[in-house]
């Protein structure tokens, strides 16, 4: 084990890494910090501190010291066009990179020791899937909806987090109070504040469903509609119904017949 620790430098680093953008990433002390920087750092340290030696910050001959065995990718060396940035910005995937050895191809005889040193870290890292909050977004009828935007105040992402085809959402968050904003077409914007606990201890993230309210419909019957209806002697007549800024065209059969009768009987009554 002593030989392994002196031969191999263990490094675990997190994004964002390599490419700074205008979407919430900024330089802080030489590091490029993302809106979810606290989660990235937590995930990195969960692995490092659970490792047999990574947390000691042992380094390879061509790299500097890494406190607690972790470093910000941009602080280490900038890189444009990396998959970590793309997946985080476009697909909300929080990706981290493990550097397990200074030797790219360690001898087969040392693989069991590498596995032993990393086993506990891998299990602890996997358990972090239970961080934060998860649930569904339901429309005014109580049905789950796809592509509802679920945002957390103070965490502006380039591509907002959206619900999947089952109306499900999830956000990896450390324990604390967070204000959520949920938006979906033809529904009122919903804002709720949640007290998020530490889910990994219970092997389950906090579960919370957001129930939206449909935007009240407004009916507009203009004089033009009435003139058109009066000109119809019988049958059905389409009347524009404005709903939430959009135009729908239901058929109002009863109304058109009544207006048609008025138009036909008008000369006789006069």
Q: At what angle do helices 223-230 and 253-269 cross, to 10 degrees?
A: 70
Q: Is 99 a catalytic residue?
A: yes
Cβ neighbours, 10 Å, residue 258: 12
Task: Supply 215's token pair.
Answer: 């935007």
Annotate 125-151 with DSSP letters as a single string. Answer: HHHGGG-SEEEEEE-TTS-B-SS-EEE
- The H or E element that residue 196 is part of is strand 190-196
From residue 248, give the alpha-carbon distance in Å to each of 53, 122, 214: 65, 54, 16
- The residue annotated as part of the active site, out of 26, 95, 99, 192, is 99
Task: Supply 65's token pair.
Answer: 């010291």
Cβ neighbours, 10 Å, residue 211: 13
**What are the residue numbers of the active site?**
99
């Amino acid at each position: 084990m002593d030989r392994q620790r002196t031969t191999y430098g263990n490094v675990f680093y997190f994004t964002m890494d390599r490419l700074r953008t205008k979407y919430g990433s900024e330089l802080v002390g030489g590091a490029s910090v993302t809106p979810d920087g606290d989660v990235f750092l937590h995930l990195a340290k969960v692995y490092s501190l659970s490792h047999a030696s990574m947390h000691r910050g042992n380094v390879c001959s061509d790299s500097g010291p890494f406190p607690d065995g972790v470093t910000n990718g941009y602080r280490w060396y900038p890189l444009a066009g990396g998959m970590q940035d793309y997946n985080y910005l476009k697909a909300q995937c929080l990706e981290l990179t493990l550097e397990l050895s200074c030797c790219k191809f360690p001898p087969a005889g040392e693989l069991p020791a590498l596995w032993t040193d990393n086993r506990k870290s891998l299990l602890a890292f996997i358990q972090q899937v239970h961080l934060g909050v998860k649930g569904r977004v339901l429309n005014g009828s109580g049905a789950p909806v796809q592509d509802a935007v679920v945002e957390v105040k103070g965490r502006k992402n380039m591509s907002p987090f959206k619900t999947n085809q089952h109306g499900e959402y999830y956000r990896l968050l450390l324990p604390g109070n967070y204000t959520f904003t949920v938006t979906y077409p033809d529904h009122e914007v919903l804002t709720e504040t949640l007290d998020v606990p530490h889910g990994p201890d219970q092997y389950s993230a906090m579960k919370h469903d957001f129930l939206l309210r449909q935007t009240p419909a407004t009916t507009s019957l203009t004089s033009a509609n009435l003139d058109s209806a009066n000109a119809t002697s019988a049958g059905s007549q389409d009347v524009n119904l404005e709903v939430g800024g959009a135009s729908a065209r239901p058929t109002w059969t009863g109304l058109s017949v009544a207006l048609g009768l008025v138009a036909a009987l008008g000369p006789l009554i006069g």
